[in-house]
Amino acid sequence: MNMPRSHRAVFMKHALELAAKCHETGDVPVGCVVVKDGVVVGQGYNTREKEQRVTGHAEIMALNDACSNLGTWKLDGCELYVTLEPCVMCSGAIVNARIDTVIFGARDSKAGGVRSLFAICEDPRLNHRVEIIEGILKAECSLIISDFFTSLRLNK
């Protein structure tokens, strides 16, 4: 189920809207949506600071929401849109959930588990591989992250 590039931008904009909610909580602004058959079935944004939980990543929130909404942990046939490249923890969860495709906006050179530091989702040693598409609304996704960290530095 590959969406045309224009549809991908629509779902990434939704993820960016979710990421903006992090400004209220002090979390790194990352948003994520899970899509099946062109419909959002799960969504989330970072809540690690707000909830003081190590697993409070946007992807984990969106995966859990999708599992609840679909009534299964097997999310085959689903695409996951996230503003920032998933980390190692989230990449492992994505593989375990059997997500078909991950679409992310900006790379994460310090913690990226999909392309920057590791290629967990495409590792042939694992029992499932995920198609990766990167760079959808890259400028917008990069800007929301860089603005957040610039603001943190200025407020110190």
- Residues with catalytic function: 59
Helix intervals (H) in the chain: 5-20, 48-51, 58-70, 88-96, 138-154
Sign of CA pseudo-dihedral 89, 5, 131, 120: negative
Residue reference for tokens 């799960």: 42
Tell me the β-bridge partners of 44: 32
**Whole-angstrom Cα distance, residue 80 to residue 49?**
23
Residue reference for tokens 């994460």: 108
**Whole-angstrom Cα distance, residue 155 to residue 132?**
36
Q: What are phi and psi for residue 34, nearest 5 degrees?
A: -110, 130
